[in-house]
Structure 1
Amino acid sequence: MTHNTPLSPRPLRRHSDVTRRVLTAAQLRAQGVTAAETNEQCRPGGPWQQILPGVFLLHPGPPTSEERLHAVLSYAARSAFRETPAAVAGVPAQPNADEPRPAPRYSDAVITGLAALTLHGFSSAPPLPSLDSIDVLVPRMRRLRTMGCVRIVRTPVMPTPSYVTGLPVAPVPRALADAVAELSDAGAVRRLLTEAVRGGHAEPAAVVRELTQARLLSRPHVVDAVETLLAEGRAIAEDHLYRMVRAYALPDPVWNVDLRLPGGPHLGGLDAYWPEQAVAVELDTRAPRQEDDALWSEYARKREMLERLGITVVHITPKKLRDSLEQQATVVRTALMAACDRDPAAYVVVVPR
């Protein structure tokens, strides 16, 4: 074949969107384009280009961000763009540009890291065009190499992806862990973790769990960022608790207090306490641990001691306050209403924290 030999126009005339501009060698073969024809189209100055091994961009200019993402997934996935039989059998002489086309399906490949955070809407993550590489999660046993704009991240267990503009994207906690693993800038790490919580993208506990599993908490700048993350998470949870009391017309409690027995030991701190009903609310903002959770043991010990004194303790997580505020208000209201049916609680001293 010479450079002047025309190529069948079939593939070119169908590729009017990104799923038609980025194709693998297998997909081109399925549409009747031979390897020789593909190589001819990808010659220097030709109309196509090979963007990654086995992945082709069907125009000569630089790829868009969307095209890069599809190319990365096409390279890393076990299979991509599973077509209906009619779509691969042939192309009509005059294709309809509005013809429905199956959404791309990528098996065992998920966008993660900074690219995933950008897709999730993080303002502190860099724009896609500025990323030199795009992280993609694949199963540990896959035989793939980091190549071009693809950085392969292996994992023993693939996460259940979210879908952003039809692309499989790692959940925010996992994407954060993969991004933080590559960042040495303490400020950038802190901004990402803070935005995850402040923007409602993830619960602090879920983020810390992923950072722990990735063994990143041995890095001082990550530990510092996690402390900021947990403080931010507690502040948001406290704000939700205040809002719950106001919005659902609960009686005003005393806020952020310590309880003590008269002349006796310290019983522990509480986020809200109704002295007349002897009902307490405690926010469960613990960071997850891989081993025995000493802090949970402390929570349980305090709760047992208070309940022996006749004080009802309601534990609420930040996630429950965020997702089911009315339900949590009902739980607290029920505990307050049940106070009249209980024996009077022991007298305790209430002091501000």
Structure 2
Amino acid sequence: MTQNTPLSPASSLSPLFTRPPHHLQAVAHRVLSAAQLRARGVSAAQTSAHCLPGGPWQHLLPGVHLLHPGPPSGHERLHGALLYAGRPPVSARRTPPQQPDDGFGEAMVTGLAALALYGFASVPDLEELHRIDVLVPRTRRLRSTRFVEVVRTAALPAPVRRAGVPAAPVERALADAVAGLGEAEDVTRLLTEAVRAGHCEPGAVVRELSAAKLLGRPAVAGAVDALLAEGRAVAEERLYAMVREHGLPEPLWNVELRLPGGPELGGVDAYWPDLAVAVELDTRAPRFGPPSQGRRGGNRGPDRSEDPQWSAYAAKRERLERLGVTVVHLTPGKLREAMDQQATVVRTALMAADDREPAAYLIVLPR
């Protein structure tokens, strides 16, 4: 059977697959909504007859059918959850390009099931998950049922295709997963892996947790501290790698700067004293401010004017630059996504040192 071939009553009286292969294209043929079956020429009466006890098909979820009699696989349950939560295909509706009319509508998988699709080692395999969270618009009238947990949101994030199905972005999936966890150890394990494995940056995760009003939970507060520490360590490793791999001169690492006999000027992550160039990593993860896109509809990052951490960064940078020190501001995301470009920025600052006025003499102390 192909997706475009109608199911005849005769051909559908026996299981289509005795041992269904775990191939996503095949899954799409084994799990179909009532609307999809009608579009393939199978009437509601025929569907009901095939789903009788001992029949070749079965009801997986309301309006969703499994076209074999055996237990559903993890991918079949995932596919069925999305069909249940999505809007069924409408023949009169035209499907926009790059948005396949797969019956999922606006629904997307989130929570632990989405993290399993992203390859999180600390998350059970889809076959072992007892619940699949699906994210839908708040206006949908839809109830959680069986293994499907419906999660509503005022504004949907842009989905990411994973294993052929739409998944919420990692940050949103993490927040929805954390909402269902009660043990601090489980939350810490998830958040730490997200940063250590390079799935996302701490700031984006904390903003999602803040938007979901989860930061006040005891199990989350300690996990966020571990998340920030892990994010800092990962960013520093990337900075060390950038210096080594791009042949930059070795700086003094993690030092405090101060004027002779004067006040402390603050710490920097790397400093070239002969060239008066400093690098500072922005590893902030503010616990307040506008949420990221997808939960309340905002499309901006944190408001720097409302962030005291950013104000402190800016004040320190201004003081150092008044003293002739060039401060290069790097973020973990830039180091992860465009290390070559960031190395060029630092190299340019180092090469331009001879063209600047000599900097004030500063005392350098280990941080």
Is TM-score (shorter-chain normalized) higher than 0.5? yes
Q: Does 1:9 align with 2:16?
A: no
1:209 maps to which residue?
207
The worse-fitting range, judged by mean Cα deviation, of 76-85 and 140-149 is 76-85
Kindly report which structure 2 residues correspond to 1:1-353, keeping only aligned pairs within 5 A, or say none.
8-11=9-12, 17-80=26-89, 104=102, 106-291=104-289, 292-353=306-367
Q: What percentage of aligned pairs have identical amino acids? A: 63
Work out the CA distance in 1 between the residues paired with 2:276 and 2:12: 74
Q: Does the aligned pair in 2 maintain the 1:310–1:343 contact within 8 Å?
A: yes
Q: Would the alpha carbon gap of residues 71 and 322 (structure 1) be closer, same or farther in structure 2, given more than 3 Å must change?
A: same
Q: Which ranges of structure 1 fall in alignment gaps of 5 or more residues?
A: 1-6, 86-101
Deviations 1:143-179 (A, max 9, x none): 1000111100001111111111211011111100000
What SS does the aligned partner of 1:183 have?
Answer: coil
Work out the CA distance in 2 between the residues paired with 1:282 and 1:245: 14
Give the deviation of 1:12 after TM superposition. Answer: 6.3
Q: Does the aligned pair in 2 maintain the 1:172–1:201 contact within 8 Å?
A: yes
Q: Would the alpha carbon gap of residues 81 and 231 (structure 1) be closer, same or farther in structure 2, given more than 3 Å must change?
A: farther
Work out the CA distance in 1 between the residues paired with 2:362 and 2:322: 12
Q: What letter matches 2:104 in structure 1? A: Y
Q: Would the alpha carbon gap of residues 154 and 318 (structure 1) be closer, same or farther in structure 2, given more than 3 Å must change?
A: same
Q: Does the aligned pair in 1 maintain the 2:36–2:88 contact within 8 Å?
A: no
Work out the CA distance in 1 between the residues paired with 2:322 and 2:229: 31
Larger radius of gyration: 1
Size of the aligned set, in residue pairs, is 331
Q: Would the alpha carbon gap of residues 13 and 109 (structure 1) be closer, same or farther in structure 2, given more than 3 Å must change?
A: same
The CA RMSD over aligned residues, in Å, is 2.1
Q: Does the aligned pair in 2 maintain the 1:81–1:104 contact within 8 Å?
A: no
Give the deviation of 1:129 after TM superposition. Answer: 2.0
Work out the CA distance in 1 between the residues paired with 2:338 and 2:325: 24
2:292 maps to which residue?
none
Q: Which ranges of structure 2 fall in alignment gaps of 5 or more residues?
A: 1-7, 18-25, 95-99, 290-305
Scaled by the length of structure 1, the TM-score of the pair is 0.89
Q: Does the aligned pair in 2 maintain the 1:25–1:54 contact within 8 Å?
A: yes
Q: Does the aligned pair in 2 maintain the 1:22–1:57 contact within 8 Å?
A: yes
Work out the CA distance in 1 between the residues paired with 2:52 and 2:16: 20
Q: Does the aligned pair in 1 maintain the 2:89–2:101 contact within 8 Å?
A: no
Q: Does the aligned pair in 2 maintain the 1:73–1:106 contact within 8 Å?
A: yes
Q: Does the aligned pair in 2 maintain the 1:74–1:80 contact within 8 Å?
A: no
Work out the CA distance in 2 between the residues paired with 1:83 and 1:230: 50
Q: Would the alpha carbon gap of residues 82 and 326 (structure 1) be closer, same or farther in structure 2, given more than 3 Å must change?
A: farther
Q: What letter matches 1:232 in structure 2? A: E
Deviations 1:95-132 (A, max 9, x none): xxxxxxx7835211000000010111001001212222
Work out the CA distance in 2 between the residues paired with 1:235 and 1:9: 63
Work out the CA distance in 2 between the residues paired with 1:15 and 1:105: 21
2:4 maps to which residue?
none
What SS does the aligned partner of 2:127 have?
Answer: helix
Give the deviation of 1:324 after TM superposition. Answer: 1.3
Q: What letter matches 1:350 in structure 2? A: V
Q: Does the aligned pair in 1 maintain the 2:37–2:43 contact within 8 Å?
A: yes
Q: Does the aligned pair in 2 maintain the 1:103–1:166 contact within 8 Å?
A: no
Q: Does the aligned pair in 1 maintain the 2:15–2:57 contact within 8 Å?
A: no
Give the deviation of 1:81 after TM superposition. Answer: 9.7
Q: Would the alpha carbon gap of residues 81 and 322 (structure 1) be closer, same or farther in structure 2, given more than 3 Å must change?
A: farther
Work out the CA distance in 2 between the residues paired with 1:82 and 1:63: 28
1:94 maps to which residue?
none
Give the deviation of 1:203 after TM superposition. Answer: 1.0
Work out the CA distance in 2 between the residues paired with 1:50 and 1:83: 27
Q: Does the aligned pair in 2 maintain the 1:11–1:31 contact within 8 Å?
A: no
Q: What letter matches 1:336 in structure 2? A: L
Work out the CA distance in 2 between the residues paired with 1:201 and 1:12: 45
Q: Would the alpha carbon gap of residues 224 and 147 (structure 1) be closer, same or farther in structure 2, given more than 3 Å must change?
A: same
Q: Does the aligned pair in 2 maintain the 1:198–1:233 contact within 8 Å?
A: yes
Deviations 1:8-50 (A, max 9, x none): 1255689562211111111222222222221111112221111
Q: Would the alpha carbon gap of residues 182 and 226 (structure 1) be closer, same or farther in structure 2, given more than 3 Å must change?
A: same
